[in-house]
Amino acid sequence: MNRDGKNRSLWQDWPAPYQPLNSGGCDYNKVYDALIVGGGITGLTTGVLLQEAGLDCLLAEARTIGFGTSLGTTAHLNTLMDTPYPLIEKRFGLSGARLVAKAGEKAIALVETFTAETAVACNFERKTAWLVAATAEERQRLDEIREASLRAGLTAYPVSDCPVKLPFLAGCCFEAQGQVNAGAYLCSLAQRFEESGGIILEHTLVDETERETDYHKVSTMEGVIKARRLIYATHIPPGVNQFSVLCAPYRSYAVAFTLADGHYPDGLAYDMKEPYNYFRTQRVGDRDYVIAGGFDHKCGHEENTENVFRQLEAMVRAYFNVSEIAYKWSSQYFEPADGLPYIGRYPGREETFVATGFSGNGFTFGTFSAILISELIMSGESEFESLFSPSRLKPLASAKNLVMENADVVAEWLAGFWKNDKISLLTELAPGDARVVEWEGKSLAIYKSETGKIYAVNAVCPHFGCKVSWNNTERSWDCPCHGSRFSFDGSLLTGPALSGLQGRDLDES
Ligand code: FES
């Protein structure tokens, strides 16, 4: 299974025996009940729920199943969210906090049910989570989180130790969290969707959409798809829209490693640093791995992303008797302006639905999005509709800050650009290295492959005109403004951009 970066995640080498296939193709003369755009956790789960509810669904994925963040997840399932409950309660009231906790519970329960019903070994397990404070300030926040979590209806209690030997001043346990093998689970969902009659179209990028009287006309390279409902399960909706302003793109880092002493921790463990770090054990195949993650930063704001892995590895070696770092990978998530994702009806668009802004709770909120959107479609309402509505107005003040924060990076990054001529560029660029250069009034993103081949593409992101920056560990061009990502040769990896960076022939520039 492939994903949107050079590094391989733990899940890519452990797919189920089933490989998703185009099961019969699309009938371009037919009007489908729903077109789901995006073949990750959100799209596949939505497809299963709607197809099994009796709708006739088509799922279009621009690359392959799980290609985006779903195969870059660490696949922990939580009611303990990245946005702490004291903040949720403050912004959305106690009833809102209780609904968020309930949303997490429903998502974990659905994964538990689906994994119990498949023959694919998804290694789903219910786990207890430890949240650990190392300082007095963290302990105060921990107490507030525990009290607000109890008010939200979760089971939480103080503890005096943690299965991971983190610096420990105080700790709190949260019951009934979960974890799963993401690759196996995605495959099981794809299989279930196709077995119930759904059709998956891989390598199908959705481009233009147009609303006819009672259905959408959706352009793809292969033809025009017709569907009564359109569901954007693309992590961030494609194109220029309000969600690029409401959600800020972040990169997160993970490693999976084996232990020399065999003392694998039983449970999920989180510290309270900002950004926080987390740890858990996952069995895949016949081996156990500890997954550790963290060191998040805004997309495009880190000049040497490979160095982040060195810091992460140094941290895990301080806490564990590491035998082998088997996998390392990074992935993208979107931070919503007010702390809760945007899930539901797409503002101003008829029979269109969207789910985005999951923070670091992607597998949980992706699964929950499928529940909420399928409720809206099948029954016309949901108790969660108002809380998660993409039309809610709360984010405006925060959104302004996000836009400013996202825009500032361009000048900063440009400060380090080369001013060079072609000869020195070609000779001085090391194999595997890349630069953005200002050249004859144009900005070029230039990458030199390990074999010495030069790739030169326009450094200006086609989404909204920001300049991309190089991600040296994933070998990608990342846009700091709204998180579009492109391969070293300029081809589109993930939106919101709808097209890649155009190539340029150096001899003609
Ligand atoms: Fe918006 Fe690049 S993603 S300008």
Residue 480 CA to ligand 1 centre (angstroms) = 7
Residue 53 CA to ligand 1 centre (angstroms) = 37
Residue 495 CA to ligand 1 centre (angstroms) = 8
pLDDT at 406 over 90: no
How many angstroms separate the CA atoms of 436 and 439, rounded? 9
Q: If you search the block for the tokens 């089933």, which residue do you land on?
A: 18
Residue 475 CA to ligand 1 centre (angstroms) = 18
pLDDT at 399 over 90: no
pLDDT at 222 over 90: no
Share of the chain above pLDDT 90, in %: 78
Residue 368 CA to ligand 1 centre (angstroms) = 27
Residue 119 CA to ligand 1 centre (angstroms) = 41
H helix count then E strand count, the chain: 11, 25
pLDDT (tens digit per residue) in 37-63: 999 999 999 999 999 999 999 999 999
Residue 465: what residue type?
G
* 466 ligand 1 Cβ < 6 A: yes
- DSSP lists the bridge partners of residue 456 as 446
* 18 ligand 1 Cβ < 6 A: no
* 461 ligand 1 Cβ < 6 A: yes
pLDDT (tens digit per residue) in 265-309: 999 999 999 999 999 999 998 899 999 999 999 999 998 999 999
| Number of residues that make up the chain | 509
Residue 45 CA to ligand 1 centre (angstroms) = 28
* 402 ligand 1 Cβ < 6 A: no
Q: Is the pTM of this model over 0.85?
A: yes
What is the atom index within ligand 1 of the atom nearest the CA of 466? 4
Residue 478 CA to ligand 1 centre (angstroms) = 9
* 149 ligand 1 Cβ < 6 A: no
Side-chain-side CA neighbours of residue 293 (13 Å): 25
Q: What is the pLDDT of residue 451?
A: 86
Question: Which segment, 46-60, 194-208, 416-430, is predicted with the most confidence on average?
Answer: 46-60
Residue 160 CA to ligand 1 centre (angstroms) = 46
Confidence class for position 422, pLDDT limits 50, 70, 90: low
pLDDT at 331 over 50: yes
* 464 ligand 1 Cβ < 6 A: yes
pLDDT at 21 over 80: no
* 146 ligand 1 Cβ < 6 A: no
* 500 ligand 1 Cβ < 6 A: no
What is the atom index within ligand 1 of the atom nearest the CA of 249? 3
pLDDT (tens digit per residue) in 67-112: 999 999 999 999 999 999 999 999 999 999 999 999 999 999 999 9
How many angstroms separate the CA atoms of 52 and 378, rounded? 11
Burial 370-409 (b: 16+ CB within 10 A, else e): bbbbbbbbeeeebebeebbbbebeebeebbeebbeebeeb
* 484 ligand 1 Cβ < 6 A: yes
Q: What is the pLDDT of residue 420?
A: 44
* 131 ligand 1 Cβ < 6 A: no
- Interval 431-438 mean pLDDT: 87
What is the atom index within ligand 1 of the atom nearest the CA of 496? 3
| Residue-range domains of the chain with CATH | 409-494 (2.102.10.10)
Residue 330: both structure tokens together? 């990074």
Q: What is the pLDDT of residue 395?
A: 43
Four-point Cα dihedral 498, 66, 82, 349, nearest 10: 40
Residue 214: what residue type?
D
Closest CA to 486 of 75, 499, 13, 79: 499
Q: What is the pLDDT of residue 338?
A: 94
Q: What is the pLDDT of residue 452?
A: 83
Residue 406 CA to ligand 1 centre (angstroms) = 10
Q: What is the pLDDT of residue 372?
A: 98
What is the atom index within ligand 1 of the atom nearest the CA of 461? 2
Q: At what angle do helices 182-195 and 85-117 cross, to 10 degrees?
A: 60
Closest CA to 83 of 335, 292, 332: 335
Residue 243 CA to ligand 1 centre (angstroms) = 12
Confidence class for position 456, pLDDT limits 50, 70, 90: confident
As a whole number, the mean pLDDT across the chain is 90
pLDDT at 15 over 80: no
* 72 ligand 1 Cβ < 6 A: no
* 463 ligand 1 Cβ < 6 A: yes
Pocket test for ligand 1, best of 247, 301, 464 (most atoms within 8 A of CB): 464
* 132 ligand 1 Cβ < 6 A: no
* 168 ligand 1 Cβ < 6 A: no
What is the atom index within ligand 1 of the atom nearest the CA of 244? 1
Ligand 1, atom 4: closest residue by C-alpha = 464
What is the atom index within ligand 1 of the atom nearest the CA of 465? 4
* 481 ligand 1 Cβ < 6 A: yes
pLDDT at 183 over 80: yes
What is the atom index within ligand 1 of the atom nearest the CA of 240? 1
pLDDT (tens digit per residue) in 354-396: 999 999 999 999 999 999 999 999 999 999 999 999 998 644 4
pLDDT at 506 over 70: no
H or E element that contains 47:
helix 41-52
In order of 24, 30, 160, 208, the CA distances from 225 in angstroms are 15, 8, 57, 11
